Structure 1
Amino acid sequence: MAITLTQQEKLILKQVALPPRPQALLDFAAETKQPEPDISKIAKILQSDGAISAAVLQVVNSAAFRRNREIDAIDQAIMMLGLKRIIPLVKAVALKSSVKTSAALATFWDDQTKIAECCAQLALRLNKPGLSNYAYMLGLFHFAGVPILYQHFKDYDCVFEFAEQNGWDKANVFQSQQYNTCHATIGALLAQQWGLPKAMIYAIYYQHDMEDLYSSGELDEVGLDLLSILKIARSACYGDKYQQDWLVATDQICDHFNLSDDEVTELIQDIMLA
């Protein structure tokens, strides 16, 4: 598997600036890769960035993760969740402060946070608790290419207008025709630059190429789990909006999770009421 870039995309990417990882995230990543990571040092690194530490605590205490008691300190969060589970959450919340949005996209991160929370809950309800943190991260990261392209192309509003009428799967193709690149590619490159797992990178890259994706071998089992969870979460959050995208994915997702249409519909309704 590989992210394929056209020559035109390579030229565009020289002009589109992908946001770098914050220094706290770089220091955090370096320490977590040590043979014996120092938990107290990791906690201090995260505490050095107030926005990241506050956001991590907000996430771990949210309904999406069903904590029995409130976690009120970063070191406590690390000890209770473990580094393996805290790493994707730290990367996820760091993204929100790094990818800037204009006034026209005022609710963008609110929408992505809602989707991320639904993703985490779905992972639990589908008996895949080990994926909940990564599902949350995918929920935040999967549309990160949108505000980046919005800042670069002054007429990017036309993509939103197109998506309103035709769904984001077709809008992704529309972007490629208009700008010679699309938000799925930009988002995947950002995920790659930030050191996200390969399954996450390719789930972002292929999020709008659902036809025959489940039999193509382009995504491994974890990637398909995450992408399926994302699609269900988006349907739960947006309802009838972008329904075209959901209809394309429904049968493959039902087969993948061995669920009937009614069971998936009930799952969506439960998440909407949560």
Structure 2
Amino acid sequence: MTSSAARVAQPAAKLTTEQSVDALVKTIRIPPRPSLLADVQAELAVADPDPRRLTDIIANDVAMSASLLKLANSSFFGLRLKAKSVEHAVNLLGITQCGNLMTGIIARQSIQIEKVSLVKFWDFSTKRAQAMTQLARRMRVCSADLAHTFGLFCDIGIPLLLERFPEYADTLEKASNEATLTFTAVEQQHHDTSHTSIGSLMARTWGLPESVSLAILLHHDYTALNDPNTDDAVKGLIALALLAEYGIQKYHGQEYSTEWEKGGEAACQFLGLSADEVEDRFEELHELFNNAH
């Protein structure tokens, strides 16, 4: 092949690859945004959200109302009074907090896979959201609400890929133990896509904030933490998630984390944390988890 022919062939090959990846993505089921979530988001987006309107939206769904009350009365919030109704819960927790909880409840109910239990996945996601909320309040690198949403949705592409590829569970284990390649590079090798790409797409479909969908896309690319073109809120989400996840792993007795080895130093640098301060944050998270039982 002549060099000019080779130059022509390269873009064509690239185009073919992009087309096949696009075709693949179309075979992955991304759940549409539930109308209840759209209604909650629309109310929270107005200049002056009305607690009564939010209460009416939630109260229309009996299962959601029951789930919200159960969460509101859990030890995690430590409310002095027990919420007796949706209206009472909204008043006790505040509109934004209720909106965050509803987003999590709706996601959990919308994403179910036949023959695969997602209990551990959602438990970890909930813990990460709680941990990131606490860390964001203390460190102020992004808003606590943003941190909570990202904590819930950060790995949302994983169940979607488990549903699409029967062998994805093996890929997940390989990627979790891979010391050199990035987590997403292992996924790309096996499936021509990654949980970050699919998760980011779902976040946009569900109308989540732009910084959340971008942080989902980049959260295994730790070079983003040193990239001047990446928004600080996005960097904050990536760094806090890494800190929160390692804190959860340590809480469960896992001292070594492949992801922390890859990105921990850059995360601490961005957050301005010394080694002693990191240990202090972990202790605070362990206290949070102990109190949440």
| Fold agreement, TM-score > 0.5 | yes
Matched, 1:197 2:197: no
Change (3 A) 1:58 1:236: farther
Q: Which runs of 5+ in 2 are unaligned?
A: 1-16, 289-293
Q: Which runs of 5+ in 1 are unaligned?
A: none
Aligned residues: 268
- Listed as ranges, the matches of 1:17-32 within 5 Å are 17-32=29-44
Alignment equivalent of 1:113, drawn from 118, 122, 126: 126
Question: Is the contact made by 1:163 and 1:242 (CA closer than 8 Å) also made in structure 2?
Answer: no
Change (3 A) 1:131 1:34: closer
Looking at structure 2, the residues matched to 47 and 167 of structure 1 have their Cα atoms a distance apart, in angstroms, of: 48
Please name the residue that 2:266 is paired with. 252
Q: Give deviations 1:155-175, integer Å, cap 9, x for gaps.
A: 112213303422797332111
Q: For residue 37 of structure 1, report the CA deviation from its aligned partner.
A: 4.5
Matched, 1:261 2:263: no
Q: For residue 248 of structure 1, report the CA deviation from its aligned partner.
A: 2.0
Question: Is the contact made by 1:115 and 1:237 (CA closer than 8 Å) also made in structure 2?
Answer: yes
Q: For residue 250 of structure 1, report the CA deviation from its aligned partner.
A: 1.8
Alignment equivalent of 2:225, drawn from 180, 199, 214: 214
Corresponding residue SS for 1:21:
coil
Please name the residue that 1:233 is paired with. 244
Change (3 A) 1:153 1:168: farther
Query: What is the TM-score when the length of structure 1 is the normalising length?
Result: 0.85
Looking at structure 2, the residues matched to 167 and 74 of structure 1 have their Cα atoms a distance apart, in angstroms, of: 47
Q: Give deviations 1:119-167, integer Å, cap 9, x for gaps.
A: 2222233357x73333222121111100101001121122133034227
Q: For residue 207 of structure 1, report the CA deviation from its aligned partner.
A: 0.6
Q: For residue 62 of structure 1, report the CA deviation from its aligned partner.
A: 4.3
Please name the residue that 2:137 is paired with. 124
> Considering only CA atoms, is the larger Rg found in Structure 1 or Structure 2?
2
- State the one-letter code of the partner of 2:202: L
Q: Give deviations 1:50-92, integer Å, cap 9, x for gaps.
A: 3333333444444554544443433234345443444333222
- State the one-letter code of the partner of 1:246: W
Change (3 A) 1:161 1:250: closer
Matched, 1:271 2:285: yes
Q: For residue 190 of structure 1, report the CA deviation from its aligned partner.
A: 0.6
Q: For residue 25 of structure 1, report the CA deviation from its aligned partner.
A: 1.6
Please name the residue that 1:224 is paired with. 235
Corresponding residue SS for 2:230:
coil
Alignment equivalent of 2:24, drawn from 12, 16, 19: 12
- Listed as ranges, the matches of 1:102-181 within 5 Å are 102-106=114-118, 107-126=120-139, 131-166=143-178, 170-181=182-193
Looking at structure 2, the residues matched to 219 and 54 of structure 1 have their Cα atoms a distance apart, in angstroms, of: 40
